[in-house]
């Protein structure tokens, strides 16, 4: 733990006056009214985002753990560590666990039995109180078009045509048998005791990567949701990636999936580390865009954001970002109420990472933001645009509780969407008017476990590039 983190100066706006914090001097009388947005139950009945681990981080950056192989033994070695991380229960397999070019005799998705035994993996995880996640992409295999959909006389090729580039065909959702194929796969997953399904390459969104994805693959999301429902087993549906956020599609995602990716993949292009700060800046800004769209279309959301794997568990060298930045990442994922699906190497968590992941006070904040996501309210304006120095508020809930995040993202490294250039420590000041609230609040600095006392007008923090503070507010 660096001294830097512990010494971050956080004050109420009233304490030393506006002179020390130039931002606070700006008029805030024109700040827009705060629209409080909440999360309600998701389509498959969840009241908080998923927490656990996913294999993509190590798969995409194999140099972070060269001994890792994507198989049953190595996944178990990682996921058994979830037992020591209270609240994190889902062990999620990314691409590569299933047979890549054909299904079983009914064209249902098969696990690759040279590397995995999915029912045995599920049993192992469940015996430890954990859950299992699998990964799928839209369509049935081209190789399977002459196979009959189970309990029907219909061949897959009668209701699934063309080639979407991933050696699969595209279902015609006007045909009821298309739904029956999805049901047959979901039934199989339920029988194996799967708890979480990640559906990748959903369009509109999912840049095609040279594939031939259909312009509108939203029917697949609806079909997987119905298929999961009819199994009677509680499974989460997580959809990916870079999904269209216009009202029409946001509505479809919101009504059918439990979480949706807000951005591209987070990886470090094969480096011996998991992520770079520029990528994280982009992820924060994509969450900002997502929640701003959500505020525009909804009074409450039924879907949680998936900012992709949370890559903060390993030391700064392996994570690829500094300890202060790791804390800032954790703060933003918590603030967003986002999935907390770790991509780190769980066999080498460091002490700082362990605290980030298991800190009780931070978990309490996550329970709050599972109901009230943070939204941007910028210093000096209350605006929602991208800035180097940003403020966010979640809530307030009717009981007067709120969460505030103040951040200095540092200079924009090219993908962040803001125009920051300052490499200095900066005061980030948010008045109550900026945040859209009134009254007196008791303020607590969560990571530093430090009370800031009762504040009547706002809060400010002196933050270096990449630093942030996570504050809870309780109406006094």
Ligand X SMILES: *[C@@H]1O[C@H](CO)[C@@H](O)[C@H](O)[C@H]1NC(C)=O
* Contact positions vs ligand X (CB under 6 A): 60, 99, 110, 113, 143, 145-146, 264-265, 267, 269, 314-315, 317-318, 345, 348, 360-361, 419, 449
- Distance in Å, CB of 398 to ligand X, minimum: 26
Burial (CB count within 10 angstroms: exposed 0-12, middle 13-18, buried 19+), residue 284: buried
DSSP 31: P
- Distance in Å, CB of 222 to ligand X, minimum: 27
Toward ligand X, which CB reaches closer, 133 or 313?
Answer: 313
105: Cβ–Cβ under 8 A, 6 or more apart, which residues?
147
Minimal CA–CA distance to 363: which of 398, 319, 330? 330
Toward ligand X, which CB reaches closer, 258 or 350?
Answer: 350
Active site amino acids: 200, 265
Toward ligand X, which CB reaches closer, 255 or 315?
Answer: 315
CA distance 27 to 31: 9
CA distance 20 to 40: 41
Which phi and psi angles does 258 have, rounded to 5°? Answer: -90, -25
233: Cβ–Cβ under 8 A, 6 or more apart, which residues?
189, 190, 193, 194, 195
- Distance in Å, CB of 217 to ligand X, minimum: 20
Toward ligand X, which CB reaches closer, 195 or 345?
Answer: 345
446: Cβ–Cβ under 8 A, 6 or more apart, which residues?
359, 361, 362, 365, 470, 471, 472
- Distance in Å, CB of 443 to ligand X, minimum: 14
- Distance in Å, CB of 194 to ligand X, minimum: 18
CA distance 97 to 56: 12
Provide long-range contacts, Cβ within 8 A and 24+ apart, for 146-149.
Answer: 147/103, 147/105, 147/106, 147/107, 148/106, 149/106, 149/107, 149/177, 149/180, 149/181, 149/184
- Distance in Å, CB of 265 to ligand X, minimum: 5
Q: Which two tokens stand for residue 418?
A: 């803001």
Cis amide prior to 396 (ω within 30 degrees): yes
Toward ligand X, which CB reaches closer, 52 or 343?
Answer: 343
DSSP 64: G
Q: Which two tokens stand for residue 278?
A: 């520029």
Toward ligand X, which CB reaches closer, 19 or 449?
Answer: 449
Q: Which two tokens stand for residue 68?
A: 């890792």
Q: Which two tokens stand for residue 359?
A: 């800190």
278: Cβ–Cβ under 8 A, 6 or more apart, which residues?
413, 414, 415, 416
- Distance in Å, CB of 18 to ligand X, minimum: 23
Toward ligand X, which CB reaches closer, 31 or 318?
Answer: 318
């Amino acid at each position: 733990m660096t001294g830097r983190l512990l010494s971050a100066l956080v004050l109420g706006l009233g304490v030393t006056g506006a002179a020390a914090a130039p931002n606070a001097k700006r008029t805030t009388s024109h700040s827009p009214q705060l629209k409080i947005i909440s999360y309600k139950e998701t389509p498959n009945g969840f009241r908080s985002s998923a927490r656990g681990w996913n294999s993509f981080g190590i798969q995409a950056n194999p140099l972070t753990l060269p001994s890792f192989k994507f198989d049953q033994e190595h996944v178990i070695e990682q996921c058994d560590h979830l037992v020591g991380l209270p609240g994190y229960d889902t062990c999620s397999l990314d691409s590569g666990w299933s047979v890549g070019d054909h299904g079983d005799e009914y064209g249902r998705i098969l696990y690759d039995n040279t590397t995995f035994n999915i029912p045995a993996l599920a049993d192992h995880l469940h015996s430890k109180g954990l859950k299992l996640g699998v990964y799928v992409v839209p369509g049935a295999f081209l190789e399977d078009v002459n196979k009959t959909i189970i309990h029907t006389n219909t061949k897959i090729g009668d209701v699934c045509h063309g080639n979407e580039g991933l050696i699969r065909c595209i279902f015609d959702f006007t045909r009821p048998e298309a739904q029956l194929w999805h049901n047959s796969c979901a039934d199989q997953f339920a029988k194996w005791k799967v708890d979480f399904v990640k559906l990748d390459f959903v369009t509109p969104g999912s840049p095609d990567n040279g594939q031939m994805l259909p312009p509108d693959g939203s029917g697949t999301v609806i079909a997987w949701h119905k298929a999961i429902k009819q199994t009677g087993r509680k499974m989460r549906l997580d959809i990916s990636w870079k999904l269209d956020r216009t009202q029409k599609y946001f509505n479809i995602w919101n009504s059918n999936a439990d979480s949706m990716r807000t951005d591209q993949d987070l990886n470090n292009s094969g480096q011996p580390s998991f992520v770079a700060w520029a990528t994280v800046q982009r992820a924060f800004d994509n969450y900002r865009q997502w929640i701003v769209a959500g505020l525009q279309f909804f009074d409450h959301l039924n879907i949680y954001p998936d900012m992709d794997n949370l890559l903060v568990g390993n030391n700064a060298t392996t994570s690829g970002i500094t300890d202060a930045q790791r804390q800032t990442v954790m703060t933003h994922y918590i603030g967003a109420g986002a999935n907390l699906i770790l991509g780190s190497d769980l066999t080498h968590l460091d002490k700082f990472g362990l605290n980030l992941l298991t800190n009780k006070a931070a978990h309490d904040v996550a329970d709050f933001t599972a109901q009230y996501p943070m939204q941007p309210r910028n210093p000096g304006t209350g605006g929602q645009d991208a800035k180097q120095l940003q403020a966010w508020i979640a809530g307030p809930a009717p009981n007067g509780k709120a969460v505030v995040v103040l951040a200095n993202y540092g200079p924009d490294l090219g993908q962040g969407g803001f125009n920051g250039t300052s490499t200095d420590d900066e005061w980030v000041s948010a008045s109550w008017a900026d945040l859209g609230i009134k009254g007196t609040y008791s303020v607590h600095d969560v990571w530093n476990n430090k009370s800031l006392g009762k504040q009547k007008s706002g809060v400010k923090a002196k933050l270096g590039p990449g630093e942030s503070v996570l504050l809870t507010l309780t109406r006094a």
